[in-house]
Amino acid sequence: MSLKRKAAIIDLTTRAFEIKEIPLELRKKYLGGRGIDAYFLYKLIKPGIDPLGPDNVLLVSAGLLTGTTAPASSRTNIGAKSPLTGLLGSANMGGFFSAELRYAGFDHLIIQGKAEKLSYLWITNDSIEIRDAAHLKGADANETQTLIREELDDEEIKSMTIGIAGENLVSFACVRTGPKNSGGRTGMGAVMGSKNLKAIAVRGTKPIAIADPKGALRYHKELIEYIHTSKYTEIMGKWGTNFIYDVTNSTGLIRTKNFQQNQFPNSEELECEELEKYSLGVAGCFGCTMHCRHKIRLKEGPMKGQYDEGPEYTTLGAFGTEVANNKLHKALEGNYLVNKHGLDILEVGSMIAWAIELNEKGLLPKALLGDLDLSWGNMDAVLKLTEDIAYRRGELADILADGPKQAAARLGEGTLKYNIQVKGMSALQSDERATPSLALGLATSTRGADHLRSRPAIDLYHLPEQALKAIYGKEGLSSDYRDYAGKPWMVTWQERIYAIVDALGICKFQTVFLSPNMPKAEEYSKLIKLITGLEFSPQELMEIGERIYVMERLFNNREGATRKDDYLPDRYYDEPNPAGLKAVRGKYIERDKYEEMLDEYYDLHGWDSQGNPTSDTLERLGIQTEAGSLL
């Protein structure tokens, strides 16, 4: 059955490995993927360790439903202690890797120690081998995948790789699979690099037995039909997340010139229709019928002829609004570079935009610039600096490669004021000064400034209160995204539903994220029973989602995180929106109301005033924080 996949404990130092069954008790408490990762991270990582040292543990995990008849069941979760934040490291990516991992017999890889020399893992049908990767040194993230397929003579091999940024321990290096999919956040590529692990290659042919195959197929068809009745699905299938740009920019909800503006004029070339000039069609991940990514061929400039996939909405911020570039082809060049070198695109754009503003304000030492003209809209300089960061080439790039907090410490603590980050991780290009619910989710997320772990994006849609009640299960939720009242409830609800889908291995685009008309806990309850035979009520699933989030919070608390880390940069409170529609113009986050939201958020979780889960909460959730392990 789909529950029979195993966990492999791999010690790169001793080159030994052990294969263990995943206990049913662990499944019932955390499901899989991000859920079981949260448990393992808390149990296996000692507090205070160096994230780039051999004591860090790298987790690579498939979701409970990955590779099955569940729609969009493609996601891989990657976890460790983050070299970027020093707190929870957790990234999630689509593609085909985790499905292949399950077909090879494994749900979880627990990777410890450090290889003596550059290596890669070769995993196939219950077999694990540590192979020499000297010939892969310096290869980019895409090239590495091709070279491994050629070496092992199998075009069906799926690999998770790092590029030169991971080898050089850039604190926000990402992991990559396929031409597009990235586990972008929290520096998991740097953790791989620190372990001398260039790649993990998998190939599997083991079947996954389904508890009720006919019922699962019938329900799959029903869910696909439901998902495709949404206008959102049609838009995503045509433009991908790029459609968000038009809305946020016209409203004034987009971060421009780092954080100096909230609207980017004269940027028609960044609007989604412009993609038609470059697109060769669309593609999707395992088990997905939405097909939200474009296949791109660059048509001009020094990268003319290169193939890439994307871009995402994030690209239009990182290499568009944040650095004041209004040329789509330049943003696509940036997208290609970060994919090639294995960099978190969001972090790159934010760090470079910060550096440009520092330079503009005279806070960046001229000696660091050399002949680099670091100014708004100068994409030649931005793209050069992107590559320099990947290679840690030059002092400025080396500083930026350390991420917000470490870079600010090197440049002078006064510079951190201008960096848009939370817990040491940079924020998306959105501007949340007019949206308290999004601001709260950004500030309290367990992995740092985050739009993927708690964001109630549908709060922007002015849904009627009755519709909000039907989704969130609570009366009195305001349909005005500028209101503060009731927003903590929305954030905590989204935390739980996102934790569930990450534990199941399902894509967030097919849950309540960008559309209210997507599957929720009720649908996941049916899917789990049909595919695995396990029975959970929707309420039990939401409790599992809460348990996962609390385990992540416990990890951070143990590393020293408290209430002080659940705030936004001062600019959110002190600098009102200068532009946009009347609804957002002049808006900022009010400190007293934010404090009230944060208190309510803690109360809803059952945490004390400093954000520590209480003993009653731990008992209610059945969380075992004592020594020992369920594995």
Residues 494-550 have pLDDT tens digits of 999 999 999 999 999 999 999 999 999 999 999 999 999 999 999 999 999 999 999
- Asked whether the beta carbons of 339 and 308 are under 8 A apart, the reply is yes
User: At 303, phi and psi to the nearest 5?
Assistant: -105, 15
What's the pLDDT score for residue 1?
59
- Paired residues of 209 in beta bridges: none
pLDDT band of residue 625 (cuts 50, 70, 90) is low
What's the pLDDT score for residue 60?
98
Q: Whole-angstrom Cα distance, residue 482 to residue 470?
A: 21
pLDDT surpassing 50 at residue 272: yes
Q: Whole-angstrom Cα distance, residue 206 to residue 203?
A: 10
Question: SS3 for 565?
Answer: helix
B/e letters for 402-440, b = 16+ CB within 10 Å, e = fewer, are bbbbbbbeebeeebbebbbbbbbbbbbbbbbbbbbbbbb
Element (H, E) at 128: strand 127-132
Long-range contacts of 390-393 (CB under 8 A, 24+ apart): 390/163, 390/164, 390/165, 390/168, 390/170, 390/337, 390/341, 390/342, 390/343, 391/164, 391/168, 392/168, 392/170
Strands 76-81 and 421-422, by their bridges, are unpaired
Q: Whole-angstrom Cα distance, residue 524 to residue 623?
A: 23
The proportion of the chain whose per-residue pLDDT surpasses 90, expressed as a percent, equals: 97
Q: What is the pLDDT of residues 131-159, one digit of tens each?
A: 999 999 999 999 999 999 999 999 999 99
Q: What is the pLDDT of residues 100-129, one digit of tens each?
A: 999 999 999 999 999 999 999 999 999 999
pLDDT surpassing 90 at residue 413: no
pLDDT band of residue 37 (cuts 50, 70, 90) is very high
CA angle at residue 282 from 281 to 288, to 5 degrees?
155
What is the mean pLDDT of the segment spanning 404-432? Answer: 96
pLDDT surpassing 70 at residue 629: no
Q: Whole-angstrom Cα distance, residue 16 to residue 546?
A: 35
Q: Which residue do the tokens 């039907």 mark?
A: 470
Give me the DSSP letters along 24-54.
Answer: HHHHHHH-SHHHHHHHHHHHHSPTT--TTST
Residue 607 has a CB neighbour count (10 Å cut-off) of: 18
Joined tokens for residue 415: 């510079």
pLDDT surpassing 70 at residue 353: yes
For residue 453, give the nearest of 184, 173, 92 by alpha carbon: 92
B/e letters for 534-543, b = 16+ CB within 10 Å, e = fewer, are bebebeebbb
Mean pLDDT for the chain? 96
Q: What is the pLDDT of residues 426-459, one digit of tens each?
A: 999 999 999 999 999 999 999 999 999 999 999 9
pLDDT band of residue 626 (cuts 50, 70, 90) is very low
What's the pLDDT score for residue 371?
94
Element (H, E) at 148: helix 141-152
- Asked whether the beta carbons of 470 and 491 are under 8 A apart, the reply is no
pLDDT band of residue 2 (cuts 50, 70, 90) is confident
Q: Whole-angstrom Cα distance, residue 255 to residue 474?
A: 32
Q: Whole-angstrom Cα distance, residue 223 to residue 217?
A: 10
Question: SS3 for 307?
Answer: strand
pLDDT surpassing 70 at residue 628: no
User: What domains does the chain contain, in order, with CATH numbers?
Assistant: 6-203 (3.60.9.10), 241-426 (1.10.569.10), 436-621 (1.10.599.10)
pLDDT band of residue 216 (cuts 50, 70, 90) is very high
What is the mean pLDDT of the segment spanning 22-30? Answer: 95
Q: Whole-angstrom Cα distance, residue 446 to residue 439?
A: 14
The proportion of the chain whose per-residue pLDDT surpasses 70, expressed as a percent, equals: 99
Start-to-end C-alpha separation, the chain: 19
- Asked whether the beta carbons of 569 and 577 are under 8 A apart, the reply is no
pLDDT surpassing 90 at residue 468: yes
114: Cβ contacts below 8 Å, ≥ 6 apart? 12, 13, 54, 194, 195, 196
416: Cβ contacts below 8 Å, ≥ 6 apart? 404, 405, 408
What's the pLDDT score for residue 592?
98
What is the mean pLDDT of the segment spanning 409-419? Answer: 95
CA angle at residue 325 from 183 to 455, to 5 degrees?
40
pTM of the model: 0.97
